[in-house]
């Protein structure tokens, strides 16, 4: 059965100061799947993500999210779309002037009519999901790198958005925390039916969670398909990317 397309990117192109960063990028993200955008550094992964999030103006190509075409949305439509997305930024992007609780509660306070005591409970529950309920009164500057990421993740899921975008969530995490994070992502996908778009380099993480892979190289899509197909594709760059894990297996055996 063909799953519903949630995000459809067609012929996306971008250039900065005359340098072409993306050209003719097309791929789709399907309902309830984890789609991983990967590729070596500087291949345009984050640029693609920023276009999908409407942080860069769409100059070439089309992007459709939940049936809405970006580029000609009114302010209200764009807001509506944002409310259905949870976004996790690489460095956490928590507001430094607020405590962890205030940071996580911010979307609920601004966009819903929930009473304060329920907001407090929801925040505690979401922080519990990422094992951070003990840091509820701390400020971002008092948290370690891993804790900061978990707090940012709690903020991204606080509204239970149907779509989640994660920009390198695993960078700088130890393997055990990374595995816990992957488990949480799988739970979000399986139990809440979230559609997840992930930009990452962590091969171990990709093997654990990815359903579909979009491999970018020099601003173009080199491969798009399931993880299984990617491993069998025979495309040199893609095989090299995953060969690290094979090497590790060899050392182990």
For residues 140 and 227, give the distance between their C-alpha atoms in angstroms, rounded to a whole number. Answer: 36
Considering the complex, state which of residue 119 and residue 221 has its C-beta at the smaller distance from other proteins: 119
Stretch of 8-16, 60-68, 138-146, 195-203 lying at the interface with other proteins (CB under 8 A): 138-146
Contact 192, 156 (CB under 8 A): no
Length of the chain: 253
Residue 194 has phi, psi (to 5 degrees) of -70, 145
* Helix boundaries (H) for the chain: 45-52, 75-83, 100-111, 116-129, 145-157, 175-192, 203-209, 227-232, 236-252
Question: Taking CB under 8 A as the rule, does residue 133 contact other proteins?
Answer: yes
Residue 61 has phi, psi (to 5 degrees) of 95, 180
Fill in the per-residue mask, 167 to 206: x = in contact with other proteins (CB under 8 A), - = not in contact. Answer: --------------------x---xx--------------
Contact 99, 40 (CB under 8 A): no
CB 96, min distance to other proteins, A? 5
Interface with other proteins: number of residues (CB under 8 A):
28
Stretch of 60-68, 121-129, 223-231, 242-250 lying at the interface with other proteins (CB under 8 A): 121-129
Out of 117, 234, 251, 252, name the contact with other proteins by CB under 8 A.
117
Binding site for other proteins (CB under 8 A): 96-97, 108, 112-115, 117-118, 121-122, 124-126, 128-129, 133, 139-142, 157-160, 187, 191-192
């Amino acid at each position: 059965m063909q799953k519903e397309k949630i995000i459809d990117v067609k012929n996306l192109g971008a250039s900065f100061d005359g340098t072409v960063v993306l050209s003719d990028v097309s791929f789709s993200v399907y309902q309830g799947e984890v789609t991983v955008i990967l590729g070596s550094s500087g291949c345009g992964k984050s640029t693609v993500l920023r276009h999908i999030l409407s942080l860069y103006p769409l100059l070439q190509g089309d992007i459709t999210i939940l049936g809405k075409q970006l580029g000609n949305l009114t302010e209200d439509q764009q807001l509506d779309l944002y409310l259905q997305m949870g976004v996790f930024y690489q460095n956490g992007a928590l507001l430094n002037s607020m405590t962890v609780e205030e940071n996580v509660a911010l979307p609920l306070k601004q966009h819903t009519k929930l009473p304060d005591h329920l907001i407090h409970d929801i925040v505690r529950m979401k922080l519990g999901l990422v094992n951070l309920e003990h840091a509820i009164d701390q400020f971002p500057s008092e948290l370690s790198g891993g804790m900061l990421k978990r707090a940012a993740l709690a903020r991204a899921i606080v509204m239970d958005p149907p779509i989640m975008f994660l920009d390198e969530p695993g960078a700088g995490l130890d393997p055990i925390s990374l595995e816990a994070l992957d488990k949480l992502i799988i739970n979000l996908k399986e139990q809440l039916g979230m559609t997840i778009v992930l930009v990452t380099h962590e091969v171990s993480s990709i093997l654990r969670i990815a359903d579909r892979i979009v491999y970018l190289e020099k601003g173009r899509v080199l491969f798009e398909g399931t993880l299984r197909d990617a491993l069998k594709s025979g495309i040199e760059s893609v095989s090299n990317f995953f060969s690290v894990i094979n090497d590790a297996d060899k050392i182990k055996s």
